[in-house]
Homo-oligomer: A and B are copies of this chain.
Amino acid sequence: MSTITALRTSDIRFPTSTMLDGSDAMNPDPDYSAAYVRVITDSDDGLEGHGFVFTIGRGNDVEVAAIRALEGHLAGRDVEDLLADMGGTWRELVYDSQLRWLGPEKGVMHMAIGAVVNALWDLKAKRAGLPLWALLSAMTPEEIVALVDFRYLSDALTPDDALSILRSAQNGRDGRRAELLASGFPAYTTTPGWLGYDDAKLDRLCREAVADGFEQVKLKVGANRADDVRRLGIARAAIGPRISLAVDANQRWEVAEAIDWIADLAPFDLAWVEEPTNPDDILAHAAIARGIAPIPVATGEHGANRVMFKQFLQADALRVLQIDATRVAGVNENIAILLLAAKFGVRVCPHAGGVGLCEVVQHLSMFDFVAVSGSIDGRMIEYVDHLHEHFVTPVDVHDGRYWPPTAPGSGAEMRTESIASYTWHARTGDAGR
């Protein structure tokens, strides 16, 4: 038996706002940050579980405080018990009635639970000696269903539905695992498209993206319509007609405005329109989806929980579902969302970038391919090429593909030196060195 002795937290902030990396129509000056947690045990194996919430600067300290509020649930607990019943562990954390009041199941407190749940999954995968995607892909349908809380989902997805989806995908798991190892998982890149980049940099980065093997490029739009038209022209000319071109409005528009604005962008042959309006607005997304068809609507990086995703699917308000590794309550809730997407026949193309999101979310897409949807058609994971050097097992992306991690764990572990160097000093307001 071994016991959790502590949750150790760090407030890590990278001063990215000085570079305009990550600038978009709603987030002009993000400082990519992580409210970071290590689950420490007294086991002889010396293994720790690492997890984090991605934020964009101010308020990262609030997120750290929320993680700290969960220590009382875990300190002194038997590690094997918690890891053996991750469904039960998830429910215990999410249904703490006092903490739940602070959401419920949304925002700072829910994301904190996600960080802790993901850290426990990291520990579980390390103990198993497997990368998280392989650990999940080796579980039986019954074990996977036991991870999911079906409360508030049963009008769209029952445990029997989920079992049926997972059992169908059992045939062919080995073949898809081999295919994944041989060919990787498709990536697309957002690196060229930040609003803060000038035209020459946009053109250059688009050409580099194609040379690097990416088959889709995404541009930020929504601040100025004439600029969008000009920038899309530059991008389309640079990438040619064969490469897909998606746009991301980062919640900038009203319903009528979105439909009208997108009409001006449609001639550039858009692969999808991402976050056209407020991420809570299911009905508005559905109206926009009808108004811009056949161009698909994509959203999800700010989807607060599985109940919101369920409704987006029920209302036909998205055709590309973008899970995020640290917005919902961790791996368990994302598995629920993957199952919902499979039930509705919608493809999942994760949000990534930020700091560490690529490292973690790739495991979920690879698990989805091997054991849930069983499909790679139209699926791809976002890729942005910064801050990977701070992780112990950075992503391996080349030839336009994510290559499956082989190291044990979830990918969340940051290098000790990076944690030390970029820990935020509240007194000076200095975001890292």
Interface residues of chain A, those whose CB is within 8 Å of chain B, are: 26-31, 55-59, 61-63, 65-66, 69, 72, 96-111, 151-152, 154-155, 251, 254-256, 277-284, 287, 302, 304-305, 307-308, 310-311, 314-315
Contacts and interface: CB of A to CB of B under 8 A. Distances in A.
Given A155-B256, A282-B282, A283-B315, 10 more contacts: A59-B69, A62-B69, A103-B106, A104-B278, A105-B280, A107-B107, A152-B254, A154-B255, A155-B255, A155-B284
Contact of A254 (B57, B66, B154): B154
Query: Most B CB atoms within 10 A — which of A96, A280, A283?
Result: A280
A360 B26 CA distance: 33
A71 to B, nearest CB: 11
B109 A106 contact: no
Contacts of A26: 97, 100
B311 A281 contact: yes
A62 B113 CA distance: 13
Contact of A30 (B31, B59, B97, B102): B97
Q: Which applies to chain A's interface (DSSP): helix, strand, loop or mixed?
A: loop
Given A152-B278, A152-B281, A69 B63 contact: no
A233 B110 CA distance: 39
Given A65-B65, A280-B305, A59 B99 contact: yes
Nearest to A158: B254
A114 to B, nearest CB: 13
A302 B279 CA distance: 17
Contacts of A28: 97
B66 A106 contact: no
23 contacts: A26-B97, A26-B100, A56-B101, A59-B109, A62-B102, A63-B102, A102-B108, A102-B111, A103-B108, A104-B302, A105-B280, A106-B106, A106-B107, A106-B304, A107-B109, A108-B108, A154-B255, A155-B255, A155-B256, A278-B307, A280-B307, A280-B311, A282-B311
